[in-house]
């Protein structure tokens, strides 16, 4: 099980993206690209995509505790 005793550098990145967040961003970007390819007049961003991006942009809090892997 992964574990880290070292302090985390909270200045390393402005935001922390989970793997799920990265996948969602990629999926949204691909959907937007396809939508615009099929219809250049289509909206660039749907309300749901905008909501996803705004939530992800905020980032996630840094943890000073141990980093534990999934079981």
User: What is residue 48's predicted lDDT score, i.e. its pLDDT?
Assistant: 96
Bigger pLDDT: 53 vs 13: 53
Segment 13-34 shows an average pLDDT of 86
67 inside domain: no
Q: 17-24 long-range contacts, Cβ below 8 Å, gap at least 24?
A: 17/56, 17/59, 17/60, 18/60, 21/56, 21/60, 24/52, 24/56
The mean pLDDT of the chain is 81
8 inside domain: no
26 inside domain: yes
Domain count, the chain: 1
Predicted model pTM = 0.62
42 inside domain: yes
């Amino acid at each position: 099980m992964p574990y880290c005793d070292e302090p985390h550098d909270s200045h390393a990145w402005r935001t922390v993206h989970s793997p799920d967040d990265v996948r969602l961003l990629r999926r949204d970007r691909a959907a937007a690209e396809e939508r615009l390819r099929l219809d250049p007049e289509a909206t660039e961003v749907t309300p749901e995509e905008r909501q996803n991006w705004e939530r992800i942009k905020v980032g996630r809090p840094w943890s000073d505790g141990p980093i534990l892997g999934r079981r």
